[in-house]
Amino acid sequence: MLDFKEEIAKAIAKVTNMEEKQLREYIEIPPNSDLGDYAFPCFKLAKDLRKAPQAIAEDIKANIEIDGKVIERIEIVGGYLNIYINKEALAENVLKEVYDKKEKYGSSNIGKGKNVVIDYSAPNIAKPFHIGHLRSTVIGGALYKIYNFVGYNSVGINYLGDWGLQFGKVMAGYDMWKDEYDFEKSEIQALLKIYVRFNQEEKDNPELTEKAREYFKRLEDGNEKEVEMWKWIRSTSLENYQKTYDLLNSKFDSYNGEAYYNDKMGPVVEELEQKGLLKDSEGAKIVDLEEYDMPPCIIITSAGTTIYATRDLASLKERMKRYDFAKAVYVVGNEQRLHFKQVFKVLELMGYEDYAKNCVHVPFGLVVDKDGEKIGSRKGNSVALEDILKEAIQKVEKIIDEKNPELEDKADVARKVGVGAIIFNDLANSRVKDEIFDWDMLLNFQGETGPYIQYIYVRTNSVLEKAGYMPEIDKVDFSKLQEKQAVETIKLLYRFNEFVESAAEKNEPSIVSRYLIDVAQSFSGFYNEHKIITEDKAVQDARLALTYAVGNVLKTGVTLLGMEMPNKM
């Protein structure tokens, strides 16, 4: 596809004898299309060319060689070159490219041959999948797909919380009370009730805590009964979680959790000792990070046990060896910022600078209700994520029954719209902001929501269905797409890859979400002002080609976020 920035940079480079790559980086997109499709700030060249910006602009305009099929005209405004591209060439390039590449349109190979390891979701087994894990699961799932789309090989890792004293509690409680709970109805709910009961009763009965330690010690020692029970709890939990992962279109390549690294921490501690990084501190073993303005990173506690940092260092060493990653991305909440800064710094001090600099913590805010209160168990409003997703689907089914009761495949449409609404609501704004969970807002078909994008996509489908054919792209007259709304929409479609690559670079899926809202709104404005199906066949063919391209990009975009598109609503 024609790269307009490249063409502009080449032309300016010939006049100024400056490096094309640097000139390209200077090119801007004006906030108002009346000021051009692109703008070049000549003051950036003033120092090198030793001229005033206005003089530089005049010199470039007077001497630039432009192809009328690429650039229509250039105007000078206050030291800027305002560049207007050929709208027919733009339409032809974009729409032919969409027709040719279809769902691959917007993809690239910037990550070709590189592995990116993405650590996300990571629920604690023996408990239902809590809404608190929604954000990590959805953000990580989107990044997995986005990185793949720009050429990387994504490796999704679900670092399960599958070790620790909590399993001693569950096992001890199970042996004492299993006959009191209905395991046939829901094994995971029964295990949760036993765990909650154990925590409550041990407050008044310290002997229970000792009993849990005994069970966990037997598990650590490899006792057959406890190991088999642990395996059962783990597999039961994963089977339960998979229902939620299937709904969210989340994929993982590894489920190696905390337990997997039990025998891999010793070598890490030994290496830290050998490299002179470990220090004794009040009975604990630490890596001193004072000169880096951080508290010490505890490796061995005063009780002689390993800790999260030890396990994360072991997992990083293993991932380095197994995947030789170009990036290691950790999608974990804001509260773990210091922890990851410490772990990455220790990895660097161990001599793995090249890997450490490519380790990234991707933090995110909380899930809060419309009053700004955290949705958490202390308030009693904590619910299983599967229940939230089911409720979203039921609410959409009710809307369908009210507005379109004759709709075919109602259950499938309700699933795609309901789950899509949850996903998009999570990704609609910058991940570091808290996510506001408000049913009325996220299921709004007219707001900046997932259902709105799906509705516009369905509208593109219905237009193409009504036309009854797809125009032959090589016979389309692209000069028929000169209306302001059409041009603005095509300009957005042209930039799809730019937004996707930016989302990958910044680990920010909301860049794609906001882009899709802009595309949907732009096309909606065009659709409301101009009939697609008209008596003029040339005009109709051009508008149908645009309609198809919009639908294609919307569908590809939401797929990157983990959503699915319904064909009808």
| Tens of pLDDT, residue by residue, the chain (569 residues) | 899 999 999 999 999 999 999 999 999 999 988 899 999 999 999 999 999 999 999 999 999 998 888 999 999 998 999 999 999 999 999 999 999 999 999 999 999 999 999 999 999 888 878 888 999 999 999 999 999 999 999 999 999 999 988 899 999 999 999 999 999 888 988 998 999 899 999 989 989 999 999 999 999 899 999 999 999 999 999 998 999 999 999 999 999 999 999 999 999 999 999 999 999 999 999 999 999 999 999 999 888 878 899 999 999 999 999 999 999 999 999 999 999 999 999 999 999 999 999 999 999 998 887 777 776 543 444 468 888 899 999 999 999 999 999 999 999 999 999 999 999 999 999 998 888 888 888 888 888 999 999 999 999 999 999 999 999 999 999 999 999 999 999 999 999 999 999 999 999 999 999 999 999 999 999 999 999 999 999 999 999 999 999 999 999 999 999 999 999 98
DSSP 291: G
Write the DSSP symbol of residue 326: S
CB 49 within 8 A of CB 16: yes
State both tokens at 448.
């900046």
Specify which residues 313 forms β-bridges with: none
**pLDDT attached to residue 326:** 98
Rounded to 5°, angle at Cα 398 from 397 and 404: 80
- Could you tell me the sign of the dihedral formed by the alpha carbons of 255, 252, 511, 386, in that order? negative
Contacts of 129 (CB under 8 A, 6+ apart): 123, 240, 241, 244, 384, 385, 386
Angle at 404 between CA 436 and CA 569, to 5 degrees: 60
CA pair distance 90, 71, nearest whole angstrom: 10
Dihedral, CA atoms, 373, 377, 378, 379, nearest 10 degrees?
Answer: 50
Give dist(CA 437, CA 386) in Å, integer. 15
Q: Mapping DSSP to helix (H, G, I), strand (E, B) and coil, where does residue 76 land?
A: strand
Q: Supply angle C-alpha 151, 156, 158, rounded to 5.
A: 170
What residues pair up with 85 in beta bridges, in sequence order?
71
C-alpha separations of 24 from 29, 283, 302, 406, 500 in Å? 12, 58, 57, 54, 19
- Name the nearest CA neighbour of 483 among 529, 550, 549: 529
The C-alpha atoms of residue 57 and residue 79 are separated, in whole angstroms, by 6
Tokens of 382: 């904590």
Judged on CB neighbours under 10 Å (0-12, 13-18, 19+), 188 is buried
User: Which domains can be identified in the chain, with CATH numbers?
Assistant: 4-85 (3.30.1360.70), 165-248 (no CATH), 404-429+438-561 (1.10.730.10)
Q: The tokens of 544 are what?
A: 């149908």
Tracing tokens 């210091």 back to the chain, one arrives at 338
Separation CA 353–CA 330 (nearest Å): 18
Whole-model pTM above 0.85? Answer: yes
The two tokens of residue 165 are 């004293």
Element (H, E) at 55: helix 53-63
Tokens representing 303 are: 């009780």
Residue 209, CB half-sphere, CA atoms under 13 Å: how many? 7
Which one, of 312, 320, 314, lies nearest residue 340 by Cα? Answer: 312
Q: Please tell me the predicted confidence (pLDDT) of residue 376.
A: 52
Rounded CA separation 533/399 (Å):
29
